[in-house]
Amino acid sequence: MSTTGPSAPPAGQVWQAVAARELSTQARSKAFLLSAGFLAVGLVGLIIVLSIVSGRETTRDVAVLDDLGSAAVDRAAALAGELDDDLTLRSTAATSPADAERALREGEADLALLPVAGAGYELVGDDDLPDAAAQALGAATTELLTQRNAEEQGVDLDALAAGVQVEERLLDPGSDDQGLREAAALLLVVLFFVTAITFGMAMASTVTQEKESRVVEILAAAVPIRALLWGKIVGTSALAFAQTLLLVLIGVVALLVTGQASALGVLGSAIAWYVVFFVLGFVTLASLWSVAGSMASRQQDLQGTTAPLQALLMAPYFVAITAGESVQTVFSMLPVVSTMVMPARLAQGPVPAWQLAVAVGVTLLAAVVLVRFSARVYERTLLQTGRRISFGEALRHAR
């Protein structure tokens, strides 16, 4: 009579079990909970601050001595609304130039519009002259003084000004919501950077821990090593994706609650594409983080084995923040780095469809190539313990 040992479970069941274990373990870890909580609180706080700053009205009190000065402030108030929606100008009476200057020094007034004998008026500030307020007051006062002089000399201002206006036209007008777009671009870059570093280091650390404890040797004897890799990639990617969707949902709710629903119309497309690029980019990076963990034999080795990946993330981070438009355009179509740069570009304005197609295509191709490469290296380095494996050796293993 012959006996046979228990057969190994199918590879499909193995990677699913590993993915479920990876997801469950990381979701309960303090690092994940603290990171998710920090990002959620930071996101809500940033939206609240932007709401307060964007909706805060600024009132400038202008000390005046006569009726023309008061009329100039009233006229400037209308002009100020065209320059800055949140700027309000109002006049306050002063009895003398000295009284107006005292009001400036003591904070009772922000500006003073004072007549100067034979020279019109002067605009006085304490330690600065706010640009929008000064521009509006200067234009209004000049207009009223010109009108008064014309009436005294019997000049028809309308006839004098006919045909001499200088109109303005922009070939590429800037967006009224440029500040919002720039803030969103920075936020998307930082969000991916923090998420990739947090989950990537956690993934590499678990692989190294399993090597140190020799648990991986028991697993490798029973199931295919490649199935272990698939499970780790799927489990970690699913958790990172879930956190990203949660943060997007929190951000949308925060925008609605703070009365900034219009921002969704501006940034909706960029947010949707961010999720797409996040999935493609993180799956690719997850495979490389696993390899970095398999190359280390101790936790102390991780700093060296993960350094190239951290550099790979830092490069597009600085490009997205500091580089010029042409450099960002090129980087946004390169594999992996496009995950950070392209969403930032989309947040700042429209991107040609062909560039989006190229970015998605090269990222998909890179994902396939790098995951296959990572699988070969992972299979050949996972069971090598007792020493840190160099990058050159890892590349030789992949041949």
- Work out the average pLDDT over 71-99: 79
Of 83-87, 173-177, 245-249, 308-312, give the lowest mean pLDDT range: 173-177
Residue 358: predicted pLDDT: 92
Contact predicate 378/291, CB 8 Å: yes
CA dist., res. 80 & res. 110, Å (int): 15
Phi, psi for 95 (deg, rounded to 5): -85, -20
* Burial (0-12, 13-18, 19+ Cβ within 10 Å), 81: middle
**% of the chain beyond a pLDDT of 70:** 84
CB atoms within 10 A of CB 172: 4
3-state secondary structure of 62: strand
* Beta-ladder partners of 125: 111
Phi, psi for 121 (deg, rounded to 5): -135, 160
CA dist., res. 202 & res. 324, Å (int): 33
Top mean-pLDDT range of 26-35, 240-249, 316-325: 240-249
CA-angle at 103, arms to 102 and 108, nearest 5°: 150
- Work out the average pLDDT over 276-281: 86
pLDDT at 383 exceeding the cut of 80: no
CA dist., res. 36 & res. 42, Å (int): 10
Q: Which amino acid is at 300?
A: Q
Q: Which amino acid is at 41?
A: V
Compute the mean pLDDT over every residue in the chain, rounded to the nearest whole number: 78
Q: Which amino acid is at 394?
A: A
Q: 71: which 2 tokens?
A: 């009329």
Top mean-pLDDT range of 27-31, 170-174, 212-216, 349-353: 349-353
More confident residue, 49 or 201: 201
CA dist., res. 371 & res. 365, Å (int): 10
CB atoms within 10 A of CB 139: 16
* Burial (0-12, 13-18, 19+ Cβ within 10 Å), 396: exposed
pLDDT-based confidence at residue 399 (cuts at 50, 70, 90): low
Model confidence over 332-355: pLDDT tens digits? 888 878 888 888 888 887 888 899
Contact predicate 62/74, CB 8 Å: no
- Work out the average pLDDT over 212-231: 77
Contact predicate 123/111, CB 8 Å: yes
Residues comprising the chain, all counted: 399
Helix axes 225-257, 215-222, angle to 10 degrees: 110
CA dist., res. 104 & res. 115, Å (int): 16
pLDDT-based confidence at residue 1 (cuts at 50, 70, 90): very low
* Beta-ladder partners of 111: 62, 125
Closest CA relative to residue 16, chosen from 217, 232, 284, 209 = 232
The pTM of the full predicted model, rounded to 2 decimals, is 0.65
If you ran DSSP here, which 8-state letter would residue 398 be given?
T
CA dist., res. 370 & res. 378, Å (int): 12
CA dist., res. 334 & res. 85, Å (int): 40
CB atoms within 10 A of CB 15: 22
Placement of tokens 């200067």 in the chain: 138
pLDDT at 155 exceeding the cut of 80: no
pLDDT at 4 exceeding the cut of 50: no
CA dist., res. 60 & res. 88, Å (int): 6
Residue 92: predicted pLDDT: 86
Placement of tokens 């740069």 in the chain: 341
Residue 81: predicted pLDDT: 65
Model confidence over 109-152: pLDDT tens digits? 888 888 887 778 888 888 777 777 888 888 888 888 888 888 77
pLDDT at 388 exceeding the cut of 70: yes
